[in-house]
Amino acid sequence: MSRRLVVTADDLGREPATTEVITELLAEGNISAATLIAVSPHAADAAQRVRALGIEPRLHVTLTAERGLPLWRPLSGGASLVDGDGALFDDPFVLQRHGDAADVVREADAQLEWMRQHGLAPEAADSHAGTLYGLHGRSWLKETLEWCRHHGLAFRLPRDAKPYFGGPLPPPLAQAHEQAVALADKLGVCIPQTIATNRRSASELGSYEQLRDDYRRRLESLPEGTSEIFLHPSRDGAIATPDGIVRTWETRLLRDPVWQAALEAEQIEVLGDWWT
């Protein structure tokens, strides 16, 4: 068995600058996959751009809005997912206090149907801001995995979660994760061996070089099988949020010869998915 890796850019369609960067990276071959936010008003343009490249993005199931952008609205109108103005909550903790599982599934259905109506045929899904995983309270993993089985979708749930969390999971979360992996296997929902991403802010990292070193260490520790690294590349000044500079660093990383050399040195095969 060899080590294989899907290099994914999340948040296609988030706003024009992010869409532009991700489509450039796809055209350059510097990423092998992307995920799309269907609730964004810029999603249709993003769908058109990736169709022109012959790329099938995954559905980035989005249940929360993002601070710094006009609030997104659900495609299904789910009452438990929105504030008093009908917009998605911008706080995952608020969503997990109010969200109803039936509304979550209906919204996932609506976002998948939106992609299909725009000429896309996603084969997998994942969760924007981690809201489906129970990282902010309530978990909808059971409903999500059953939904994936119904639609024949793979799902970004790591078989081994330690690389993502940086160590063993706390006991209650570890038990929930073990149960979710067992359910995915029972349902026949394909999942990656592990996943990894940057979870630190620019102030915590200190420099671009630190970010690059962190990702290189992730490459060194990848296990056998097919894993995924997902990033959030964008342009400087796309929106004024604290994570903006990290997004520009990740764009720089994906084009950095040092990063490309590390992939080669580790003899890691880059693939477009983990389910075929």
| DSSP output for 73-131 | --SS--GGGB-TTSPBPS-HHHHHHH--HHHHHHHHHHHHHHHHHTT---SEEEEGGGT
C-alpha–C-alpha distance, residues 253 and 250, integer Å: 5
Tens digits of residue pLDDT in 5-20: 999 999 999 999 999 9
pLDDT digit string (tens) for 205-239?
A: 999 999 999 999 999 999 999 999 999 999 988 87
Q: What is the pTM of this model?
A: 0.97
Domain ranges of the chain: 3-271
Across residues 229-253, what is the average pLDDT?
90
pLDDT level of residue 1 (50, 70, 90 thresholds): low
How far apart are the C-alpha atoms of 163 and 198, rounded to whole Å? 11
The rounded distance, in Å, linking the Cα atoms of 179 and 16 is 39
pLDDT tens readout for residues 50-76: 999 999 999 999 999 998 899 999 999
Q: 252 CB contacts (<8 Å, ≥6 apart)? A: 208
Give residue 133's pLDDT band: very low, low, confident or very high (50, 70, 90). very high
Architecture of domain 3-271: Alpha-Beta Barrel (3.20)
Q: Which pLDDT score is estimated for 181?
A: 98
Kindly state the DSSP code that residue 230 receives in the 8-state scheme.
E
